[in-house]
Amino acid sequence: MQSIETNLSDIQLLAWTLAKATAANQLNVPGEYTWAFTEQNRFSDVRRRSLSIFSSGNSIKDPDVIEFVQNLNISKFLIDPWIVEKFQDGFRPWVTAGTNYKLNNFDLFKYIGFSAGTQESFLNYYLMNTSKRMRVFRGDYWWHMDIWEKTGVSWAYIEDDDIRVGDACICSYPFALTGDKHKHFDWLVDECNKKNVGLLVDFIYLPNSINCVNIDLSAPCIREITFSFSKTFPVQAAKIAVRMLKEKPNDPMQMSNDENICNRLSAGLAYSIINQFPIDYMVNKYKDKQTHWCTKLGLKQTKVVHFGLGDDYTNIGREDSSAWCSPFNEQQGRYNLGMLFENEELLKKVNLY
């Protein structure tokens, strides 16, 4: 098989150009976080920003979705007591309609809850498993490890020890680091079944994935699954996610759902989005663009439409860590292609397309 050579020179120039364009307000679609902006239009700030151009797993900032969201009147949802329920009712068929993955026995997950971002689901998972040791594969969502370290939760990488009774596992599928199924995922399911260990499967990138996920959700260890909106639609700061379980949970998040005090603005926004855009919207729209950029930059095309894999451009000549935000955020070989998709017009004008 022919090996792919990452075109680091072109990647660096794109990173610098987009970072500089951020500072000069020349992007077609600006960032959505303060860290996604170059602080000042000067060399040292542009340099700092250039290191994070392809970081994060966040969604493609699709202009059509942004326009749709901007034209919504979501304040009306605040006085709609049934909006969360409407969203939850609509979510299952929306997911089921997807044709790029197979969620076998999805209907076993009878209990659906609105989650303020998947982080709320994760926090509840930690809380309900305080006596257990948390386990993840290396390269999974860095936030888990960072929070466990900061809060003194017992944890270990799955690679570093056997799965044991008393563990609680989490695994993203597609896997966060690679945009593909983790090579030991099936083994992990078997081990968890044998040891009666719970496994939370985080379908974080599912809507943006193509022919990656094929899972039998009837596995006894898989009791809880999560879905994120911020990796699919540019609504990151609205904190929209869904948690589904086979058995009704008894935790703070479920209480918020039962009490009908979930964020109605976010639920209404989510409800509007699933009624407007199919779950495979991003895949259909950006698949060819992923191919274009991966070919041009010598990146391996992943099964998640906004990712490519390649050598790390951020460590060239640098001795300090380029991990963004957390020492556990070691995902520099995973390129989020979103900024390239969103700024196609700009990049064509400067002959970098």
Which residues are at the interface with another protein (CB under 8 A)?
Answer: 12-13, 15-17, 19-21, 24, 26, 42-44, 46-47, 50, 316-320, 346, 349-352
User: In DSSP terms, which residues pair with 241 in a beta bridge?
Assistant: 115, 228
Smallest gap from residue 28 Cβ to another protein (A): 11
Nearer to another protein, 39 or 251 (CB): 39
Toward another protein, which CB reaches closer, 290 or 332?
Answer: 332
Cα–Cα distance measured from residue 58 to residue 40, given in angstroms and rounded to the nearest whole number = 23
We find the least distance from the C-beta atom of residue 137 to another protein, in angstroms, to be 31
- What letter does residue 75 receive in the DSSP assignment? G
Minimal distance, residue 312 CB to another protein, in Å? 14
In the bound complex, what is the minimum distance in angstroms from residue 20's beta carbon to another protein?
A: 4
Cβ at position 317, least distance to another protein in Å? 3
Q: Are 221 and 193 in contact (CB under 8 A)?
A: yes
Token pair for 41: 């239009």
> What single-letter amino acid sits at 320?
D
Q: Is the Cβ of residue 6 or residue 208 nearer to another protein in the bound state?
A: 6
User: If DSSP codes are grouped into helix, strand and coil, which group holds residue 120?
Assistant: helix
Distance from C-alpha of 24 to C-alpha of 215, rounded to nearest angstrom: 46
Q: Which is nearer to another protein, 270 or 346 (CB)?
A: 346
Distance between CA 19 and CA 36 in Å, rounded?
Answer: 9
By beta-carbon proximity to another protein, the closer residue of 17 and 230 is 17
Nearer to another protein, 36 or 238 (CB): 36
Which phi and psi (to 5°) does residue 136 adopt?
-145, 160
Please report the sign of the dihedral spanned by the C-alpha atoms of residue 267, residue 214, residue 297, residue 347: negative
Q: Which of 233, 263, 235 is nearest to 114 (CA)?
A: 263
Least CB distance from residue 8 to another protein, whole Å? Answer: 11
DSSP state of 29: S
C-beta of 5: minimal distance to another protein in Å?
19
Instruction: List, in sequence order, every beta strand (DSSP E) within the chain.
Output: 102-104, 111-115, 133-136, 155-157, 167-172, 198-203, 214-216, 224-228, 241-245, 300-301, 307-309, 334-336
Closer to another protein by Cβ: residue 164 or 318 = 318
